[in-house]
Amino acid sequence: MTTWVDGAAGSLFDIDNLPYGVFSRPGEEPRVGVRIGDLVLDLSPVAAAEMLDVHHVFQERSLNALMAEGRLVRESVRRWVTGLLSDGTERDLVEPHLVPLADVTLHLPVEVGDYVDFYASLDHATNVGRIFRPDGEPLLPNWRHLPVGYHGRSGTVVGSGTPVTRPQGQRKSPTDDTPTFGPSTRLDIEAELGFVVGTPSSIGEPVSYDDFADHVFGVVGLNDWSARDIQAWEYVPLGPFLGKSFATSVSRWVTPLEALDAAWVDVPGQDPTPLPYLRPGTGAGPARGLDIGVEVVLNGAVVSRPPYRTMYWSPAQLLAHLTVNGASVRTGDLYASGTISGPEAGQRGSFLELSWGGTEPFADGRTFLEDGDEVVLRYTAPGTAGGRIALGEVTGRVEPARE
Ligand code: MN
């Protein structure tokens, strides 16, 4: 399959990628587009011209209507777009609706419903346990039995490029008697992957491991900005709260699951064997993770390369656990993997780990984020055509606290 679009073939946004986003040109309403090379295909007029049954979903200001159509429509729309961009006989119809990325504004692609963040990396959980509880077992007793998670704040999920204001709050160091209030002095990132729900489930009906692809539409890059000083003081006993809820950044492109068909790999190994509701169907073998490479870029320099394939809990296990009590998911719900960290020092997905709790400066003396710092998270995966594809990147610059 080769695209006729100039500059796209062989790029990270070739015909085997085709992520969805929401875009507008000045003075126009936001609507759904698909990326090819450095161009956005304006789907609405092409779908209307071809009288597609679902043409109305492309006029929306979010991907939710498209995602709600379900897996079969997701797959058929992808086949249709692939045909448009590879079949030369469609070129006259399609080419006028290709818009340079430089001419558009990209919007938050999803109207986010509920947001859940997990803690699925063994290396991250072990590192954090050692840093926060140096005298105890790094992993708490539940960790290898269930994917630990918490409900986050969907209203502060923002699109890549949105500046992040340094939060203020209470913090208390172990050597102080009482807490103090002020701007966080330990502002951090968490390099993660997010999964966006398309097809809802019904309350009372768990989503099984094997039904993952029937419910999840696609994947976004995600930065779970974290204020470690606020978090360390507030998190006992109910978990993360204001140390996390001030901002979560997601990429402006959503990569549909089909673009990641070549990226599935066995998870590294789970011991003990998870309970049956966390396993693939009989005879299916071990749980499957994704071979997605991440780069953490601080002010233009790569400071870490977390490998998503080392994650302990798989994306389907996270969804199975999230719904096993009968909690339903809705179109637009977002759940995130938790910080991606590999076993090596250069594979850590947070500054907390890279600086080992602030004790070992890295990257020109950095421990935590300073005002003006810019962080970019980049993601690539094997594509179905043998090369690599890029997921949407996640950028954010730290602005000073508003005092
Ligand atoms: Mn997180």
Q: Among the three residues 107, 141, 159, which one is the final residue of a domain in this structure?
A: 107
- Whole-number Å distance between alpha carbons of 75 and 66: 11
Q: pLDDT tens for residues 168-202?
A: 999 998 899 999 999 999 999 999 999 999 999 99
pLDDT of 319 over the 80 cut:
yes
Please tell me the pTM assigned to this model.
0.98
Residue 57 has pLDDT above 90, yes or no: yes
Amino acid at 319: L
pLDDT at 284: 75
> What gap in Å lies between CA 220 and CA 376, rounded to an integer?
14
pLDDT score, position 353: 98
d(C-alpha 364, C-alpha 312), whole Å: 31
Mean pLDDT of 40-69: 97
Question: Cα(150) to centroid of ligand 1, in Å?
Answer: 9
Residue 14 lies in a domain: no
SS3 150: strand
Closest CA to 307 of 122, 80, 33: 122
Per the structure block, which two tokens stand in for 45?
Answer: 């007029």
Say if 11 falls within a structural domain: no
φ, ψ at 273 (rounded to 5°): -55, 130
**CB contact set of 52 (below 8 Å; sequence gap of 6+):** 80
| Shared-domain flag, residues 72 and 151 | no
Q: Choose the final residue of a domain: 107, 136, 163.
A: 107
Task: Compute the distance from residue 158 Cα to the ligand 1 centre, in Å.
Answer: 15
Does 141 lie in the same domain as 244? yes
Q: What is the CATH number of the domain that holds 380?
A: 3.90.850.10
| pLDDT 10s digits, 158-167 | 999 999 999 9
Ligand 1 centroid vs 35 CA: distance in angstroms? 28
Q: Which three-class secondary structure state does DSSP give residue 117?
A: strand
| Domain shared by 54 and 163, yes or no | no
Residues 321 and 256 in one domain: yes
Tell me: pLDDT of 67 over 80: yes
Q: Is residue 8 part of a domain?
A: no
pLDDT at 183: 98
> Residue 306 is encoded by which pair of tokens?
């977390």
**Cα–Cα distances in angstroms (integers) from residue 352 to residues 221, 237, 392, 397, 402, in the given order:** 20, 21, 24, 18, 24
pLDDT (0 to 100) of residue 241: 97
Residue 106 Cα to ligand 1 midpoint, Å, equals 24
CA distances from 287 to 143, 185, 198, 271, 379 (A): 17, 39, 22, 12, 22
How close is the Cα of 142 to the center of ligand 1, in Å? Answer: 18
* Residue 97 is among the residues annotated as catalytic for this protein: no
Q: Are both 225 and 89 inside the same structural domain?
A: no
Distance 243 CA to ligand 1 centre (A): 11
- Give me the mean pLDDT over the 321-333 stretch: 98
The predicted model gives 314-326 an average pLDDT of 98
- Catalytic residue chosen out of the listed positions 107, 124, 145, 151: 124
Mean pLDDT along residues 354-374: 96
pLDDT at position 364 is 86
List the Cα angle 18/247/133 in 5-degree steps: 110
- What pLDDT, on the 0 to 100 scale, is given for residue 155? 98
pLDDT above 80 for 282: no
Say yes or no: 100 and 126 in one domain.
no
- Number of domains within the chain: 2
Average pLDDT of the segment spanning 97-114? 98
Same domain flag for 345 and 388: yes
Gap from CA of 366 to ligand 1 centroid (Å):
21
Residue 42 has pLDDT above 90, yes or no: yes
